[in-house]
């Protein structure tokens, strides 16, 4: 099936780098108009917008902190101002503040939960409110709207030294599935992507040199992922090619969640 998102409008949070930038590129290449959200640095977001426009696509950059209700409202208002509708939300923004549990500060716990979980709630809620104002346009999609949550393999794999991150992603799983259960009847599709180790700024240390060799032991498929691996899944989940996929988590992890330590008889 040839995927076309022509006529659709996509908002990607945290799209000035890594997986968000990859998703924005992929969605734009498939024909969607894209809102490139960034947190604090406009330059990379503006550069991506220029790149998309130069390739014949439509895009704008909008700054907003997804953990702040008023900024999320402003982000969605800017989307509507620019493109008049919303069809696809990729709730991608996320961060890590790592520490052993006994050393983890309340501030770092709150920051991670606020961005990774509350941010996804605020963006999903704003998208659902917008979808409710629209009607299905069967010429562009069979669904009224699509939400894709960026989770992690750590929604199922416990992660010592990263309990705030793992808790936030475990939360994203039940957030996604509960929303999916609630809004499916409205023909709104809600799904998650759970990446494994993908080469981006969030894990530069773990994906280079000796650390990469150690990491590869955890990846049965034998390579670290690239942003494009995840972008391909985003485009598929946003399109009618996945129209019967709802409430699902797609693990894009080269098999990291397969308990690779048990490969040689445990």
Which residues contact ligand NAD (rule: CB under 6 A)? 13-14, 16-20, 38-39, 65-67, 92-95, 115, 150, 152, 195, 197-198, 200-203
Nearer to ligand NAD, 140 or 237 (CB): 237
Q: Taking the complex as a whole, how short is the minimal distance between the CB of residue 69 and ligand NAD, in angstroms?
A: 12
Q: Within 13 Å and on the Cβ side, how many CA atoms surround 56?
A: 4
**Residues in a beta bridge with 33:** 9
Q: Is 38 a catalytic residue?
A: no
Q: Strand, coil or helix: what is 248? A: coil
User: Would you say 22 and 227 are in contact if contact means Cβ atoms under 8 Å apart?
Assistant: yes
Give the residue among 168, 46, 43 at the shortest CA–CA distance from 35: 46
Nearer to ligand NAD, 31 or 94 (CB): 94
Tokens coding 179:
């929303």
Nearer to ligand NAD, 9 or 123 (CB): 123
Q: Taking the complex as a whole, how short is the minimal distance between the CB of residue 57 and ligand NAD, in angstroms?
A: 19
Strands 59-63, 33-38: pairing kind: parallel
254 Rama class: left (phi>0) / alpha (psi -120 to 50) / beta: left
The one-character DSSP state at 135 is -
Q: Taking the complex as a whole, how short is the minimal distance between the CB of residue 21 and ligand NAD, in angstroms?
A: 7
Q: Taking the complex as a whole, how short is the minimal distance between the CB of residue 238 and ligand NAD, in angstroms?
A: 16
Exactly one of 38, 165, 221, 259 is catalytic; which is it?
Answer: 165
Nearer to ligand NAD, 117 or 144 (CB): 117
Residues forming the active site = 165
């Amino acid at each position: 099936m040839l995927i076309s998102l022509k006529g659709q409008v996509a908002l990607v949070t945290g799209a000035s780098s890594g997986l968000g930038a990859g998703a924005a590129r992929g969605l734009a290449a498939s024909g969607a108009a894209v809102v490139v959200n960034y947190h604090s640095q406009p330059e990379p977001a503006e550069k991506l917008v220029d790149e998309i426009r130069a390739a014949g696509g439509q895009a704008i950059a909008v700054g907003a902190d997804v953990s702040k209700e008023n900024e999320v409202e402003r982000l969605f208002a800017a989307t509507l101002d620019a493109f008049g509708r919303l069809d696809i939300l990729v709730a991608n923004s996320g961060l890590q503040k790592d520490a052993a549990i006994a050393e983890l500060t309340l501030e770092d716990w709150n920051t991670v939960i606020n961005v990774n979980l509350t941010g996804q709630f605020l963006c999903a809620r704003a998208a659902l409110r917008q979808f409710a104002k629209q009607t299905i346009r069967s010429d562009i999609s069979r669904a009224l709207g699509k939400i894709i949550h960026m989770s992690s393999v750590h929604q199922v794999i416990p992660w010592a030294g990263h309990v705030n991150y793992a808790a936030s992603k475990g939360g994203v799983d039940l957030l996604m599935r509960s929303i999916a259960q609630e809004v499916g009847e409205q023909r709104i599709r809600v799904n998650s992507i759970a990446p494994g180790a993908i080469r981006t700024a969030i894990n530069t240390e773990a994906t280079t040199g000796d650390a990469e060799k150690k990491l590869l032991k955890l990846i049965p498929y034998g390579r670290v992922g690239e942003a494009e691996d995840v972008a391909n899944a985003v485009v598929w989940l946003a399109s009618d090619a996945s129209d019967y996929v709802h409430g699902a988590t797609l693990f894009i992890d080269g098999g990291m969640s397969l308990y690779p330590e048990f490969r040689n008889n445990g």
